[in-house]
């Protein structure tokens, strides 16, 4: 087996590795990502492949970010027809992400190319379990292990038999999340575990290769406190808005969960006590004359997890479900009191007040205004409920810590909660005691915002330059009642990056106006406050997490039993070198359970093939000869395919020109 590193070299994006087994003519990729955030991105993404796409047998995909899957449709467009092996979670997110990318101007592929992708959901195979090798091809096995980066993301370990009949393994980290099995800095996904087995090689990302996070990052209460401060400040003034640009995949879902925890647990009493209630006559008319919509009541009861069972029983004793018609004559179902006597009505009014169903205007409304994020959230809603095979209380991806965070007893209760938070389409709405959650289309968001005293708007993109977030920023930046909350990385030249710099220095881009397409906002007109929570929402492991991934293994593996050669990729050269230095330092100061590192490599753009069987770079002469031979073979295959296509077209034209003879 040999490997050539094709992407994420000397940069963070564009992950792609080509592997070949000459003896069996097996050829496959691990990831096929797009270069992003680079002035040369278009040229790099459209450059010729160093292989023939039709000769690639399959792809192993670590996760659904575009810098790992973004060129898969181009691969299909140029002849690839094999399977893409990944988790079902990853496949669904990748398809949505790629379809969204296909709609962007200047994209290298179309929606049709995306629809031709063939995903095989590896975690739906009979007998699948994480860390257990499954056969991908003859003589090749792969195991998948969650990395807590985004939903479905996995490190992938391949296993093959060398010509010397020795089993060898290589692990590809993909992107590593910050969660470990011992703490959940981001509580949505279960923490990553040390690698299983003892791979001979590792390809490790280095996005944060030289960064150690502040200790406060690991304590989720710090993040909750910051959100609580921002919301309290906004509630102190009327007609306030909080706008949070956020990435559609995972970041948005994390924030929805965080806001629920803050509003329903940290601030609920403050919010509920301050809510204005409508007069008694309105209550009475609503209960007696109009009735209360059945779906509204039942949804409300389902999300009130702390409403005592006796109160639920009281409601169903006092109210009866019946058929009615609305003003347009359409049938509907409502709840009305079973009796009109004064005692029953009084008790009915007390119950519905307790349920908070009569607000004419919500105190707080959380709005998700992002078509892609709404679709992604629907995927999270489904996938987070999946269980491990034969383990009804063990979710595949969801963090068990959610039960403790929300003081719930069973995983089924967490299912109900996430169902009410992670909605799936526009016009969906959940009402809680302290706030209302609404999913809307971009063209209706401004109208929806009239329904609350405080609107918290989540929208994409995360860097603030494009997408549904733009009109929100244009509208809110000149308002002193607005707060812009930054929740993730934003390049220094992006709107988010400039706002982050302004929050630190007090000036925006040296006085330059902010440009939103044809819309310009002068610095003097920016009155909104800026809060930076980006440090709490990093999706990558820091250097300590990367070191643990490199050195730690599950089981009792001693340094004498396990050694590994490490390739450092997916980071700029400074980050890669910083991680190399840290690995060397730890190699000299091993702790119990650490494996040995017998070499560290930093692939460059000029790197040739590396022979994984013998553990050496293939000499230039041999590599050149093999590459030349391979190039000629690839050209021959390509020309043969072109000839076949021309013959097929010729036959088609001949059929069209065939004369039709009529019977005399």
Residues 253 and 379 both lie in one domain:
yes
Q: Map residue 472 onto helix, strand or coil.
A: helix
Pairing of strands 240-245, 167-172: unpaired
Under 8 Å between Cβ of 186 and 179: yes
Measure the CA–CA gap between 155 and 170, rounded to whole angstroms: 11
Q: Of 520, 536, 552, which residue constitutes the final position of a domain?
A: 536
Residues 336 and 455 both lie in one domain:
no
Residues 104 and 7 both lie in one domain:
yes
- The dihedral region occupied by 21, where left means phi > 0, alpha psi between -120 and 50, and beta the remainder, is beta
Measure the CA–CA gap between 541 and 388, rounded to whole angstroms: 25
Write down the pLDDT at residue 303. Answer: 62
| Within-domain flag for 342 | yes
Measure the CA–CA gap between 144 and 304, rounded to whole angstroms: 38
Q: Give the number of domains in the chain.
A: 4
Preceding amide of 461 cis, omega within 30 = yes
Residues 194 and 104 both lie in one domain:
yes
Residues 526 and 607 both lie in one domain:
no
What backbone phi and psi angles, to 5 degrees, belong to 375?
A: -65, -45
Write down the pLDDT at residue 507. Answer: 54
For the CA atoms of 424, 426, 431, 435, the dihedral, rounded to the nearest 10 degrees, stands at: 110
Write down the pLDDT at residue 441. Answer: 87
Pairing of strands 240-245, 292-293: unpaired
- Alpha-helix runs per DSSP H in 553-592: 573-587
Residues 175 and 297 both lie in one domain:
no
| Within-domain flag for 412 | no
Residues 251 and 167 both lie in one domain:
no
| Within-domain flag for 402 | no
Domain with 464, as residue range(s), is: 217-271+362-384+422-536
Residues 448 and 595 both lie in one domain:
no
CA angle 320, 321, 325 (to 5 degrees): 130
Under 8 Å between Cβ of 149 and 62: no
Model-wide pTM > 0.75: yes
What backbone phi and psi angles, to 5 degrees, belong to 86?
A: -165, 175
Q: How would you class 45 by CB atoms within 10 Å of its CB: exposed for 0-12, middle for 13-18, buried for 19 or more?
A: buried
Measure the CA–CA gap between 602 and 580, rounded to whole angstroms: 8
- Structure token pair of residue 3: 């490997």
CATH number at residue 599: 3.60.15.10
Residues 259 and 351 both lie in one domain:
no
| Within-domain flag for 389 | no
Q: Map residue 110 onto helix, strand or coil.
A: coil
Instruction: Please give the average pLDDT of every successive group of 10 residues along the chain, which has 664 residues.
Output: 90 92 92 84 88 95 96 95 96 96 88 95 91 92 94 95 87 91 77 87 92 80 92 86 94 94 87 58 64 73 72 86 71 82 83 64 84 94 90 87 85 91 83 87 86 90 88 91 89 82 61 79 86 87 92 63 85 91 92 87 85 87 59 70 78 69 49
Under 8 Å between Cβ of 152 and 383: yes
Under 8 Å between Cβ of 462 and 488: yes
* Of 472, 525, 461, residue with least CA distance to 497: 461
Determine how many CB atoms are found less than 10 A away from the CB of residue 576: 25
- Structure token pair of residue 419: 């169902």
* Of 430, 493, 487, residue with least CA distance to 301: 430
Residues 478 and 579 both lie in one domain:
no
| Within-domain flag for 200 | yes
| Within-domain flag for 393 | no
How many angstroms separate the Cα of 619 from the Cα of each of 195, 601, 627?
31, 16, 12
Residues 301 and 426 both lie in one domain:
no
For the CA atoms of 343, 346, 347, 348, the dihedral, rounded to the nearest 10 degrees, stands at: 120
Bridge partners (DSSP) of residue 160 are: 140, 168
- Structure token pair of residue 52: 């023939």
SS3 content of the chain, % helix, strand, coil (to 5): 40, 20, 40
Q: Of 485, 501, 536, which residue constitutes the final position of a domain?
A: 536
| Within-domain flag for 417 | no
End-to-end distance of the chain based on CA atoms, in angstroms? 69
Write down the pLDDT at residue 408. Answer: 87
Axis-axis angle for helices 251-261, 220-235 (nearest 10): 70
- The dihedral region occupied by 441, where left means phi > 0, alpha psi between -120 and 50, and beta the remainder, is beta
Write down the pLDDT at residue 21. Answer: 92
Under 8 Å between Cβ of 319 and 336: yes
- Structure token pair of residue 130: 């994480």
Under 8 Å between Cβ of 20 and 50: no
Pairing of strands 387-388, 362-369: unpaired
| Within-domain flag for 380 | yes
Write down the pLDDT at residue 556. Answer: 47
Bridge partners (DSSP) of residue 387 are: 395
CATH number at residue 450: 3.40.50.10890
Measure the CA–CA gap between 65 and 63, rounded to whole angstroms: 6
Write down the pLDDT at residue 625. Answer: 60
The single-letter DSSP state of residue 124 is G
Range 322-325 contact pairs with CB under 8 angstroms and sequence separation of 24 or more: 322/291, 324/291
Q: Map residue 34 onto helix, strand or coil.
A: coil
Write down the pLDDT at residue 360. Answer: 46
Measure the CA–CA gap between 427 and 430, rounded to whole angstroms: 10
Q: Map residue 456 onto helix, strand or coil.
A: strand
Residues 263 and 324 both lie in one domain:
no
Write down the pLDDT at residue 634. Answer: 66
The single-letter DSSP state of residue 445 is H
- Structure token pair of residue 39: 């002035």
Under 8 Å between Cβ of 243 and 484: yes
Determine how many CB atoms are found less than 10 A away from the CB of residue 295: 11
């Amino acid at each position: 087996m040999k490997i050539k590193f094709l992407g994420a070299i000397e940069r963070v994006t564009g992950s792609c590795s080509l592997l070949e087994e000459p003896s069996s003519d097996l050829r496959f990729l691990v990831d096929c990502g797009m270069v992003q955030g680079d002035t040369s991105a278009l040229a790099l993404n459209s450059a010729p492949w160093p292989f023939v796409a039709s000769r690639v047998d399959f792809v192993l995909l670590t996760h659904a970010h575009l810098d790992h899957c973004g060129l898969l449709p181009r691969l299909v467009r140029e002849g690839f027809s094999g399977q893409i092996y990944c988790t079902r979670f990853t496949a669904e997110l990748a398809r949505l992400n790629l379809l969204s990318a296909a709609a962007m101007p200047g994209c290298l592929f179309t929606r049709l190319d995306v629809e031709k992708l063939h995903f095989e959901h590896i975690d739906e195979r009979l007998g699948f379990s994480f860390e257990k090798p499954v056969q991908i091809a003859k003589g090749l096995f792969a195991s998948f292990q969650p990395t807590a980066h985004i939903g479905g993301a996995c490190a992938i370990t391949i296993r093959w038999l060398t010509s010397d009949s020795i089993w060898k393994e290589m692990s590809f980290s993909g992107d590593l999340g910050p969660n470990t099995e011992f703490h959940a800095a981001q509580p949505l996904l279960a923490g990553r575990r040390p690698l299983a087995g003892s791979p001979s090689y590792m390809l490790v990302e280095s996005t944060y290769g030289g960064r150690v996070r502040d200790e406060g990052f690991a304590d989720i209460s710090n993040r909750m406190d910051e959100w609580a401060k921002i919301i309290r400040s906004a509630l102190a003034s009327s007609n306030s808005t909080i706008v949070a640009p956020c990435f559609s995949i995972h970041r948005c879902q994390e924030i929805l969960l965080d806001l629920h925890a803050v509003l329903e647990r940290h601030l609920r009493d403050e919010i509920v006590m301050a809510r204005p209630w409508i007069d008694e006559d309105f209550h009475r008319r609503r209960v007696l004359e109009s009735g209360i919509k059945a779906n509204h009541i039942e949804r409300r009861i389902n999300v009130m997890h702390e409403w005592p069972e006796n109160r639920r029983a009281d409601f169903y004793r006092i109210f009866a479900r019946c058929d009615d018609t609305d003003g347009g004559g359409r049938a509907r179902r409502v709840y009305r009191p079973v009796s009109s006597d004064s005692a029953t009505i009084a008790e009915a009014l007390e119950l519905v007040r307790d349920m908070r169903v009569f607000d004419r205007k919500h105190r707080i409304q959380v709005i998700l205004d992002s078509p892609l994020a709404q679709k992604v959230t629907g995927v999270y809603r489904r996938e987070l409920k999946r269980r491990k095979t034969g383990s009804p209380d063990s979710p595949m991806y969801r963090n068990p810590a959610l039960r403790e965070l929300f003081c719930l007893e069973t995983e089924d209760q967490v299912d109900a909660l996430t169902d009410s938070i992670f909605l799936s389409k526009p016009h969906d709405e959940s009402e809680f005691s302290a706030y209302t959650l609404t999913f809307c289309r971009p063209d209706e968001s401004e109208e929806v915002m009239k329904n609350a005293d405080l609107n918290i708007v989540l929208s994409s993109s995360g860097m603030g330059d494009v997408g549904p977030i733009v009109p929100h920023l244009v509208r809110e930046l000149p308002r002193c009642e607005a707060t812009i909350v930054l929740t993730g990385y934003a390049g220094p030249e992006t709107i988010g990056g400039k706002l982050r710099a302004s929050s630190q220095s007090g000036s925006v881009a040296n006085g330059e106006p902010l440009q939103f397409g044809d819309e310009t906002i002068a610095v003097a007109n920016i009155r909104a406050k800026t809060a930076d929570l980006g440090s709490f929402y990093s999706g990558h492991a820091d250097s300590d997490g990367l070191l643990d991934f490199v050195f730690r293994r599950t089981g009792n593996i001693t340094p004498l039993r396990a050694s590994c050669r490490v390739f450092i990729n997916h980071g700029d050269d400074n980050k890669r070198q910083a991680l190399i230095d840290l690995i060397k330092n730890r190699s000299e100061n091993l702790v119990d359970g650490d494996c040995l590192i017998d070499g560290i490599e930093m692939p460059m753009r000029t790197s040739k093939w590396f022979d994984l069987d013998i553990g050496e770079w293939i000499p230039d002469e041999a590599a050149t000869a093999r590459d030349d031979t391979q190039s000629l073979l690839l050209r021959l295959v390509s020309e043969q395919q072109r000839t076949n296509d021309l013959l097929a077209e010729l036959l088609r034209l001949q059929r069209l020109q065939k004369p039709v003879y009529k019977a005399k």
